[in-house]
């Protein structure tokens, strides 16, 4: 059974710092891995999707990497801003088409 | 283009009552998913519709939960009777392909 773990559970950084969020999964037989952002009371916003054949994806200040063989992914956020404060969720998609989520990392960027 | 919408945004009911949650997917999306997050736990898959057919309902916790998708458009998730452990946030997602699911804002269900 696929299990997804995210470390740390919470992170607080001063504005401008670069930071890394970690995600690990137990079963490497995945189709893709996604990073989502969730703001309080809002839905999930997809940030980056990495196909199983890819190593990384970039969007603006965000870079996500995938090491499928070791079951790990990282989300790198450059030059953090207060608007980046949110909960970041990692999810893997398996052959069953549904997503397996981690419990998330709550990020606070202090002005 | 409108996103995935869910109604209500928040529901508070007594144990033993019935609640129906609604999800309107993005127009044209044949795939519709229900997920839920209970307190302190990760978001978990409940079921997957392709048009009006249930493709996978392996995540449905028990027979108190009934999901329907009328005419392959909107979907409802009924909980009857509701129990305390059903409290949480219920998310709906839709997709055109089997990838890139778009999520709604969720319905927060509180069972007292």
- Per-residue pLDDT tens digits of chain B, which is 112 residues long: 679 999 999 999 999 999 999 999 999 999 999 999 998 899 999 999 999 999 999 999 999 999 999 888 999 999 999 999 999 999 999 998 877 889 999 999 999 9
Which of A101, A105, A37 has its CA nearest to residue B33?
Answer: A101
Q: What is the DSSP letter of A83?
A: G
Q: Does A108 touch chain B (CB under 8 A)?
A: no
Rg from Cα positions in chain B: 13
Residue A89 tokens, joined: 């969720």
Place of tokens 């449905």: B60
Which of A68, A75, A65, A78 has its CA nearest to residue A105?
Answer: A75
Of A43, A96, A100, the CB nearest to B91: A43
Q: Does B33 touch chain A (CB under 8 A)?
A: yes
Q: Does the pLDDT at position A96 exceed 70?
A: no
Cα–Cα dist A81/A75, whole Å: 15
Q: How many CB pairs under 8 A join A and B?
A: 55
What does residue A6 show for φ and ψ, rounded to 5 degrees? -120, 135
Distance from CA of A78 to the nearest CA of B (A): 24
pLDDT tens-place string over residues A3-45: 999 999 999 999 999 999 999 999 999 999 999 999 987 889 9
Q: What is the pLDDT of residue B78?
A: 98
């Amino acid at each position: 059974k696929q299990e997804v773990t995210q470390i740390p559970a919470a992170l607080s950084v001063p504005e401008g710092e670069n930071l890394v969020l970690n995600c690990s999964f137990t079963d490497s037989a995945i189709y893709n891995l996604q990073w989502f952002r969730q703001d309080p009371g809002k839905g999930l916003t997809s940030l980056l999707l990495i196909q199983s054949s890819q190593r990384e994806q970039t969007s603006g200040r965000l870079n996500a990497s995938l090491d499928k063989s070791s079951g790990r992914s990282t989300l790198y956020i450059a030059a953090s801003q207060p608007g980046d404060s949110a909960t970041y969720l990692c999810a893997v998609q398996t052959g069953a088409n549904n997503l397996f989520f981690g419990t998330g990392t709550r990020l606070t960027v202090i002005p | 283009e409108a996103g995935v919408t869910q109604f209500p945004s928040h529901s508070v009911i007594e144990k033993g009552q019935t609640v129906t949650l609604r999800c309107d997917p993005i127009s044209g999306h044949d795939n519709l998913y229900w997920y839920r997050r209970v307190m302190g736990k990760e978001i978990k898959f409940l079921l997957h519709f392709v048009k009006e057919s249930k493709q996978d309902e392996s995540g449905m916790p028990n027979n108190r939960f009934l999901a329907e998708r009328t005419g392959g458009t909107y979907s409802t998730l009924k909980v009857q009777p509701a129990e305390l452990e059903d409290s949480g946030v219920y998310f709906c997602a839709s997709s055109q392909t089997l990838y890139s699911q778009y999520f709604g804002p969720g319905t927060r269900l509180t069972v007292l």
